[in-house]
């Protein structure tokens, strides 16, 4: 088992046995950020993560749930002082969620503003079909000195990647972002010193079953190939990037 891997966006509470999923990260030495889709899920995630060295729990309100759960922003605000890690939050302008896009923007503006006011937060962010809107809102509500955004599963253009870098963003890259030429070209536009890895498990697959944090080595190998590095060097780069991200602003 490779240790020292980083899965910076995974939903450990959506596996059949949440506690066992947390335990596996700890056993395998995978530094894992477990994200929540509703703030109601955060206290239990935080409780399980707190007993570990490798797992931390992020406080989220997923844009795909905002249509039904916008009122939970109150609970989200109440819990925010208890964690540095925020997510999954962001915007989704895909056809299934576009009807709530205006509400999503209100919630995301509130999230970023409160994170900016608190300072030193790390925010793992969803941006499906909404890269430009997400970047506009980061610029407006939480510019670089006030916090750090990690763009999860980035699908923007090279110009948008450049803009995100200027806004201090990091990128968490999963194996799906390396499966074909078009996606690989986008991934290659991300500067090596801002790249982290993720699985987004259980929403991605490895060998026709839900990916787990240990499967993140597939993304490490893909990134290594893309940049002409050995997997060990790529893995060391990702660990260094994680340390830089965590060291910033604190």
By CB under 5 A, name the binding residues for Mn ion: 88, 200
Closest approach of Cβ 65 to Mn ion, in Å? 11
> Is 11 annotated to bind ligand?
yes
Closest approach of Cβ 250 to Mn ion, in Å? 25
Q: Which two tokens stand for residue 124?
A: 């793992």
- The H-or-E segment that residue 123 falls in is strand 121-128
Residue nearest to Mn ion (CB): 200
Q: Which is nearer to Mn ion, 33 or 224 (CB)?
A: 33
Which of 41, 38, 14 has the alpha carbon at shortest distance from 200? 14
Q: Which is nearer to Mn ion, 88 or 160 (CB)?
A: 88
> Is 126 annotated to bind ligand?
yes
Q: How far is CA 38 from CA 11, 14, 28, 217, in A?
A: 11, 12, 27, 28
Question: Are the beta carbons of 57 and 46 closer than 8 angstroms?
Answer: yes
Q: Which is nearer to Mn ion, 13 or 160 (CB)?
A: 13
Which of 13, 9, 29, 31 has the alpha carbon at shortest distance from 21? 13
Q: Which two tokens stand for residue 241?
A: 């990037």
Q: Which is nearer to Mn ion, 5 or 224 (CB)?
A: 5
Q: How many CB atoms lie within 10 A of CB 231?
A: 15
Closest approach of Cβ 149 to Mn ion, in Å? 15
Q: Which two tokens stand for residue 207?
A: 């060998």
Closest approach of Cβ 62 to Mn ion, in Å? 7
Q: Which is nearer to Mn ion, 187 or 237 (CB)?
A: 187
> Is 152 annotated to bind ligand?
yes
Contacts of 150 (CB under 8 A, 6+ apart): 8, 9, 87, 122, 123, 124, 125, 169, 170, 171, 172, 196, 245
Closest approach of Cβ 13 to Mn ion, in Å? 12
Sheet with 30-34, strands from edge to edge, namely 5-10, 30-34, 55-57
Closest approach of Cβ 124 to Mn ion, in Å? 8
Q: How far is CA 19 from CA 13, 51, 69, in A?
A: 8, 11, 25
Q: Which is nearer to Mn ion, 92 or 200 (CB)?
A: 200
Q: How far is CA 90 from CA 145, 159, 208, in A?
A: 19, 20, 28
Annotated binding site for a divalent metal cation: 9, 11, 88, 126, 152, 200
Binding residues: 9, 11, 88, 126, 152, 200
């Amino acid at each position: 088992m490779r240790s020292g891997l980083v899965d910076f966006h995974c939903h450990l509470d959506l596996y059949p046995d949440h506690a066992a999923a947390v335990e596996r990260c700890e056993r395998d030495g995978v530094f894992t950020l477990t994200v929540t889709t509703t703030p109601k899920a955060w206290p239990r995630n935080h409780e399980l993560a707190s007993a570990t060295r490798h797992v931390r729990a992020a406080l989220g309100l997923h844009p795909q749930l905002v249509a039904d759960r916008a009122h939970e922003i109150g609970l989200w605000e109440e819990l925010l002082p208890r964690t540095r890690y925020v997510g999954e939050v962001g915007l989704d302008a895909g056809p299934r969620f576009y009807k709530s896009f205006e509400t999503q923007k209100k919630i995301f503006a509130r999230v970023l503003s409160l994170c900016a006011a608190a300072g030193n937060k790390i925010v793992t962010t969803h941006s499906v079909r909404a890269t430009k809107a997400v970047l506009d809102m980061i610029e407006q509500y939480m510019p670089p000195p006030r916090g750090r955004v990690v763009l999860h599963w980035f699908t923007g253009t090279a110009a948008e990647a450049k803009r995100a870098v200027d806004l201090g963003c990091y990128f968490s890259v999963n194996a799906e972002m390396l499966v074909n030429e078009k996606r690989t070209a986008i991934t290659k536009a991300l500067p090596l010193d801002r790249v982290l890895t993720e699985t987004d498990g259980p929403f991605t697959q490895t060998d026709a079953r839900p990916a787990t944090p240990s499967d993140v080595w597939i993304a490490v190998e893909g990134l290594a190939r893309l940049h002409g590095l050995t997997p060990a060097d790529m893995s060391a780069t990702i660990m260094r990037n994680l340390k830089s991200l965590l060291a910033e602003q604190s």
